[in-house]
Amino acid sequence: MVSTGSTAKRLAELGVKVTEVSEVTGFPECLDGRVKTLDPHIHAGILADMTNENHAAQLEKFGIKPFDLVVVNLYPFADTVRSGADEAATIEKIDIGGPSMVRGAAKNNATVAIITDPNDYALVAARIENGEGFSLEERRWLAGKAFAHTASYDATINEWTAKHWPKPATVDHPTAEDETEVNEAKFPAAFTRTWDRAHVLRYGENPHQQAALYLDPLNQNGFAHAEQLGGKPMSYNNYVDADAAWRAVWDFAPQIAVAVVKHNNPCGLAVGATVAEAHKKAHACDPMSAYGGVIAANSKVTMEMAESVRPIFTEVIVAPDYDADALELLQTKKKNLRILKVTEPPKSKTQFRQIDGGLLVQSTDLIDAPGDNPDAWKLVSGEPADEQTIRDLVFAWRAIRCVKSNAILIAHDQATVGIGMGQVNRVDSANLSVERANTLADGANRTQGAVAASDAFFPFADGAEILINAGVKAIVQPGGSIRDEEVFEAARKAGVTMYVTGTRHFFH
């Protein structure tokens, strides 16, 4: 057995006879350990194909012994980054000799076994104990794992360097007239992000689909790292819906907000003076759809909110924290409720969507465009909105970001009262939002005097007219249609206030 310094010392302490690498290479470790295994006496012993007589003869000529098994733990680069280490310390954890040995052994799997996963140590012990060694099929399987390991390792390094070492301004690559200038930190020529499998889920979106959760090795925060405090294991759909709800409530920070989400769409969203008030207002938007939904809050869940949630069948609740009595109530009275704690707001700045044969990458849609600032809105119809109406319009505009397109949202008192989502035309979404607003058991007309938001422009006046005829007093929308003037004129004719933002928030 041949090993490097610290590992050799530990093996010797355990009573294992070990030869230090420097004895094999005839050269001491140098440059603070940067160079120790990068030597022909090591790599020839790893790469020699012992079924090849010429290779065997060369090893004998140079006095090199072949290796049967290579075991490597790479320097903990990702752990070092997550620890907050400075750049110099991080660079020192970029392994050079380790990946070279791993790749060499994996390439030479015809005669060499490579171990990179500590979970396989028991398998090694078993093969040594029975004296059989590894079969060719096993060595190939281990080689495949090893190549995946080094590919992931290099991708993690690339992810870090892309963020910390961007292209300098002094490097000028001319851009063709019909080509968009590339931000290489966001969109590198080769996208090499990597994720580590954390959990295999019971199934995917449907029971016949398989699914798993993977985590970014450089990022130990975010919704994917939620701490589960109670309830059944999370499902694929639970993760999708809860993540959407979690993003939605943080669009309103620092205000206290609660979202109720079903099938990746909000069926209620509200801001309140307390988290309990916000939840009651959000739930009141569409109590029927809230059944079996997901609740997210951007503030600590109190006993009052927990009591409000208790009678409602809910799949998941997620919040930054829970009062002790609130958590106890939810854990004991709602044993199937998945209770998640996520201490930090969403931070992801990049979104991915797979298409057949490729991957679409875009920056995350946030409430950060120039048109998201109400001071930049343009009044195109009616009188300027009063303070309360502006607050509701701002709320509606922020809330529309998380509604699937085509999206129309009606709001009052900083709470949704009707949402039309996911329709193939804006007229259907407008009709749906009005219908949902006015179909409560008490028969209340919740559109009268409310405000509305549209995630994109009205292509014709008909969608806006549905809202106007339902009694909406103010509308905010992006504008930009070739028939904008027709839409504005419909609002003017009805005396309805309308603002355009110049920004849209499609969510397909």
Q: What is the pTM of this model?
A: 0.84
Could you report the per-residue pLDDT of 165-210, keeping only the tens digit for each?
877 777 776 666 666 777 777 777 777 788 889 999 999 999 999 9
Q: Catalogue the active-site residues.
A: 107, 263
CA–CA distance from 293 to each of 106, 332, 369 (Å)? 48, 20, 30
| Average pLDDT of the residues in 46-72 | 87
The domain over range 374-500 is classified in CATH as 3.40.140.20: yes
**Residue type for 495, please?**
G
Query: What's the CATH code, domain 37-164?
Result: 3.40.50.1380
Do the strands 265-272 and 314-319 form a parallel or antiparallel pair, or are they unpaired? unpaired
Tell me: the pLDDT tens digits for 84-122? Answer: 899 999 999 998 888 998 999 999 998 999 999 999 999
Give span(s): CATH 3.40.50.1380, the chain.
37-164
Is the pLDDT assigned to residue 295 strictly greater than 70?
A: yes
Q: What percent of the chain has pLDDT over 70?
A: 98
The predicted structure's pLDDT at residue 175:
62
Mean pLDDT of the chain: 91
Q: Are 261 and 283 in contact (CB under 8 A)?
A: no
My answer on whether omega of the bond before 66 falls inside 30° of 0, hence cis, is: no
Of 115, 120, 117, give the one whose Cα is nearest residue 101. 115
Stretch(es) of the chain classified as CATH 3.40.140.20 = 222-341, 374-500
The fold of the 222-341 domain, in CATH, is Cytidine Deaminase; domain 2 (3.40.140)
Q: Calculate mean pLDDT across residues 216-229.
A: 88
